[in-house]
């Protein structure tokens, strides 16, 4: 008797659950038909308000006067530091050559002392070379950061009345299609060089 009662009770519950599901989804469908959600409600952006422009980074690298001056300055410093390093290496090699020529006539004690001096000098040169490379990298990083900052500052002023959402720096391999009518390279390059010239006159 208990089994029959439980079976009947479960059947009744199943029917009630089915009715509830039906009522719930039928009322949801009615709500959907009376109040549809449109794209305009969720994204009120007006058509044509999203504008993008680009400039050619290769042209900037070749023709931006400030960037060219920075590269020349870095090259001059690199040559200067490498010249100092070459002088140390040449001096060291002269001592090595002299040691090799005179080693047979030296006492073992003198040979040991000379070898020790040469090893110390070689270590000094290695440390100097690491320091030179580190200094050049740091200087180059700082200078290029400053160049990028001047470009960013100019583009902020340039875009005040243009209302571009993005201004991209195009390089080969980064963008696979570009429409020439959105190319602002000439305007950017002229603006950057004019600003650099006026800054140098101050």
- Tokens 């109040």 correspond to 35
DSSP string, 132-145: HHHHHHHHHHHHHH
- Do 63 and 187 form a contact (C-beta atoms < 8 A)? no
pTM of the model: 0.68
51-68 pLDDT per residue, tens: 999 999 999 999 999 999
| CB half-sphere exposure, 172, CA atoms < 13 A | 2
Q: 108-158 and 185-201 helices cross at what angle (nearest 10)?
A: 110
- Do 168 and 175 form a contact (C-beta atoms < 8 A)? yes
- Do 95 and 118 form a contact (C-beta atoms < 8 A)? yes
- Rounded to an integer, what distance in angstroms lies between the CA atom of residue 29 and that of residue 88? 86
Amino acid 163: pLDDT: 85
- Which DSSP state fits 194? H
Residue 71: pLDDT band with limits 50, 70, 90? very high
77-127 pLDDT per residue, tens: 999 999 999 999 999 999 999 999 998 899 999 999 999 999 999 999 999
State which H helix or E strand residue 52 sits in: strand 52-56
């Amino acid at each position: 008797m208990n089994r029959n009662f439980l079976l009947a009770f479960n059947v009744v519950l199943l029917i009630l659950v089915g009715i509830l599901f039906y009522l719930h989804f039928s009322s949801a469908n009615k709500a959907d038909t009376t109040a549809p959600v449109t794209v305009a409600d969720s994204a009120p952006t007006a058509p044509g308000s999203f504008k993008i422009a680009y400039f050619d980074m290769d042209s900037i690298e070749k023709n931006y006067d400030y960037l060219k001056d920075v590269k020349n300055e870095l090259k001059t410093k690199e040559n200067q530091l490498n010249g100092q390093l070459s002088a140390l290496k040449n001096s060291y090699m002269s001592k090595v050559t002299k040691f090799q020529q005179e080693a047979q006539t030296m006492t073992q004690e003198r040979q040991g002392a000379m070898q020790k001096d040469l090893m110390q000098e070689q270590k000094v040169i290695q440390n100097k070379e690491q320091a030179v490379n580190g200094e050049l990298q740091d200087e180059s990083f700082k200078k290029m950061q400053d160049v990028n900052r001047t470009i960013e500052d100019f583009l902020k002023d340039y875009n005040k009345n243009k209302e571009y959402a993005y201004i991209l720096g195009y390089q080969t391999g980064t963008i696979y299609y570009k429409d020439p009518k959105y190319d602002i390279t000439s305007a950017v390059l002229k603006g950057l060089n004019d600003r650099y010239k006026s800054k140098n006159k101050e």
